[in-house]
């Protein structure tokens, strides 16, 4: 079975032309509709995605980063496709201890229903407008997602929500091939990273002064 980038497979048949001009939310709905009523692992997910489809993988993992209970594992998994994009790989690979980790996607299904209005609102303003080579964009997206994922690991309540949301919007821009949206979301993403770095630096300084 061969699927083109960004396509979801239904059984053994890719959604090809039917989804070629549809929005990211339609791609996400098509995938979520296939999830069985039982925990599934990352291998199942990759088996139902085109392995070159970094965008959908980033979107799903970014949304999972927002959900309590699976955020930590999703954040760790997210680092792998980000690194693959940074190095110009064509598809993500995961170690067995992560690819066999099961998720209860029933929570994710309910979450996608709640956020669909926000997704469609973002999609209304998107359109294809790349201004850089695809391989260059892949590397920049990989770097941005990698750093955002690192900030989501900070052990404070709800600190994962902002980077998870930003990663999801980056994934939508990537899937919709909207360079303008990608640049627009990069501004708050960089601001978040800078504020996070300052917080970590200030906290480390306070701890060192307390120890001294």
Residue ranges, the chain, pLDDT below 50: 1-21, 51
Query: Whose CA is closest to 148, among 93, 78, 54, 69?
Result: 78
Residue 148 CA, distance from chain mean position: 10
Rg (the chain; Cα; Å)? 17
Instruction: Return d(Cα 115, Cα 174) in angstroms, integer.
Output: 18
**CB burial of residue 113 (10 Å; 0-12, 13-18, 19+):** exposed
Residue 129's Cβ-side half-sphere holds a number of Cα atoms within 13 Å equal to 10
CB half-sphere exposure, 185, CA atoms < 13 A:
25
pLDDT at 141 (0 to 100): 93
SS3 state of residue 156: coil
> What's the pLDDT score for residue 22?
60
Residues 1, 52: Cα–Cα separation, whole Å: 13
User: pLDDT by residue (tens digit) across 110-154?
Assistant: 888 888 888 888 888 887 777 666 778 889 999 999 999 999 988
Alpha carbons 105 and 68: distance in angstroms, whole number: 13
pLDDT at 109: 80
Say how many C-beta atoms besides its own lie within 10 A of residue 24's C-beta. Answer: 23
What 8-state DSSP symbol labels residue 13? E
Backbone angles phi, psi at 10, to 5 degrees: -110, 110
* Threshold 0.85, pTM exceeds: no
Q: How far apart are CA 103 and CA 43, in angstroms?
A: 11
Best CA proximity match to 161, nearest among 71, 90, 98, 97: 71
**Residue 198 CB coordination number (10 Å):** 10
Strands (E), the chain: 9-10, 13-14, 40-41, 102-103
Q: For residues 36 and 48, is the Cβ–Cβ distance under 8 A?
A: no
């Amino acid at each position: 079975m061969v699927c083109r980038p960004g396509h979801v497979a239904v059984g053994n048949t890719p959604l090809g032309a039917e989804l070629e001009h549809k929005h990211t939310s339609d791609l996400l709905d098509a995938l979520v509709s296939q999830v069985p009523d039982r925990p599934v692992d990352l291998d199942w997910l990759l088996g139902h995605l085109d392995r070159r489809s970094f965008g959908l993988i980033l979107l799903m993992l970014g949304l999972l980063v927002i959900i309590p209970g699976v955020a930590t594992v999703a954040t760790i998994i997210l680092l792998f496709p980000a690194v693959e994009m940074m190095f110009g790989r064509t598809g993500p690979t995961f170690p067995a201890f992560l690819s066999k980790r099961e998720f209860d996607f029933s929570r994710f299904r309910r979450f996608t229903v709640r956020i669909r209005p926000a997704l469609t609102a973002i999609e209304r303003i998107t359109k294809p407008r790349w201004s850089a080579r695809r391989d260059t964009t892949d590397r920049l997206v990989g770097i941005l997602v990698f750093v955002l994922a690192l900030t989501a690991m900070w052990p404070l309540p709800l600190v994962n929500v902002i980077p998870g949301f930003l990663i999801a919007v980056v994934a939508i821009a990537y899937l919709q091939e909207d360079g303008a949206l990608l640049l627009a979301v990069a501004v708050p993403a960089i601001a978040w990273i800078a504020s996070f770095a300052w917080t970590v630096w200030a906290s480390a300084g306070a701890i060192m002064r307390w120890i001294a």
